[in-house]
Amino acid sequence: MSEKIIIDYDAVYTKTAELRRHLEAELREMNNVYRHAHNALRHMSGKTHEHFVEAMTQNQNKAQVTAETLRKLITFIDDAAKNVERNENIHARAFMSTQTTPRRIGGR
Q: What is the pLDDT of residue 105?
A: 63
Domains of the chain: total: 1
Q: What is the pLDDT of residue 96?
A: 83
45 belongs to a structural domain: yes
Task: Please determine, for residue 21, whether its predicted confidence score (pLDDT) is greater than 90.
Answer: yes
21 belongs to a structural domain: yes
* Containing structural domain, residue 55: 9-68
The stretch 1-6 carries a mean pLDDT of 75
56 belongs to a structural domain: yes
pLDDT tier at 27 (50, 70, 90 boundaries)? very high
Let me know: does 30 contact 65? Beta carbons within 8 Å.
no
87 belongs to a structural domain: no
Task: Please determine, for residue 1, whether its predicted confidence score (pLDDT) is greater than 70.
Answer: no
* Burial category of 83 from C-beta neighbours within 10 Å (exposed 0-12, middle 13-18, buried 19 and up): exposed
59 belongs to a structural domain: yes
CA distances from 37 to 30, 76, 102 (A): 11, 34, 76
Whole-prediction pTM: 0.70
77 belongs to a structural domain: no
19 belongs to a structural domain: yes
18 belongs to a structural domain: yes
